[in-house]
Amino acid sequence: MFINTLFTNPIHFFRVVVIVIISITLHELAHGWAAMSQGDDTPERTGHLTPNPVVHMGWESIIFLCLAGIAWGKMPVNPYKFRWGKLSNILVSAAGPLCNLALAILCISLCKFFLYSPFRQIASVEFIYMAARINLILFLFNLIPLPPLDGFYVFSEIFPKLKALENSQFASLALFLLFLIPGIGATLGYIANFIIAIGLR
């Protein structure tokens, strides 16, 4: 369990928790801002255009993050209010993962700057690297075309046959199995490390 890290490596534990909470909060806000831009005022009406992570994640998600290292968020939107139908749904759904990708690119740039500058001592390159890695993992994971992940709502608009998965038990089982397969997290982490390595060249 991830909670064991609190006792074996508390600095790593708190770094992960802080990065994940900030990243998920910004991820959900990106969905909300995109929805607002597409004519849906649901995020604003429900009070979700706030930097408060409890609003976006809920205490259950934050507690589960501390216990198991897994968390989630939610941004209420109403697709029926979207200005451009399918295109708006793609834009709103993609906004969250793209926010994580943008955060990762920013962190990689900061890593590169501090690694090769005389100001290296004023920032923790390890922390920034970890933020880049976590955001890349969030980006890649959310692109998986299984509900309720963002990738499903993007790809199901492009490939309508995928919509049959939305309420199917198979999709729920497949998503659950993703968390149980040991190699999934390691594979996403490896890809993230590879991308960062290229960015730091």
In the prediction, which pLDDT does 111 show?
95
- For the chain, the domain total comes to 1
In the prediction, which pLDDT does 71 show?
95
Strand, coil or helix: what is 142?
helix
Distance CA 163, CA 156 (A): 6
In the prediction, which pLDDT does 108 show?
97
Q: Which residue numbers are catalytic? A: 28
| Closest residue by Cα to residue 102 from 30, 191, 161 | 30
Per-residue pLDDT tens digits of the chain, which is 201 residues long: 899 999 999 999 999 999 999 999 999 999 999 999 999 999 999 999 999 999 999 999 999 999 999 999 999 999 999 999 999 999 999 999 999 999 999 999 999 999 888 777 788 999 999 999 999 999 999 999 999 999 999 999 999 998 888 888 777 787 777 777 777 888 999 999 999 999 998
DSSP 8-state assignment for residue 119: T
Alpha-carbon distance values, 154 to 61, 72, 93, 144, 184 (Å): 24, 18, 6, 10, 21
In the prediction, which pLDDT does 10 show?
97
Alpha-carbon distance values, 11 to 34, 63, 127, 132, 186 (Å): 34, 18, 10, 17, 21
DSSP string, 50-66: SS-HHHHHHHHHHHHHH
In the prediction, which pLDDT does 185 show?
84
Residue ranges making up the domain that contains 61: 2-199
Q: Which long-range contacts (CB under 8 A, 24 or more apart) does 42-51 make?
A: 42/76, 42/77, 42/78, 42/81, 43/75, 43/76, 43/77, 46/76, 48/75, 48/76, 51/25
In the prediction, which pLDDT does 136 show?
98
| Cβ(136)–Cβ(100) below 8 Å | yes
Distance CA 113, CA 15 (A): 21
In the prediction, which pLDDT does 80 show?
95
39: left (phi over 0), alpha (psi -120 to 50) or beta: left
In the prediction, which pLDDT does 49 show?
98
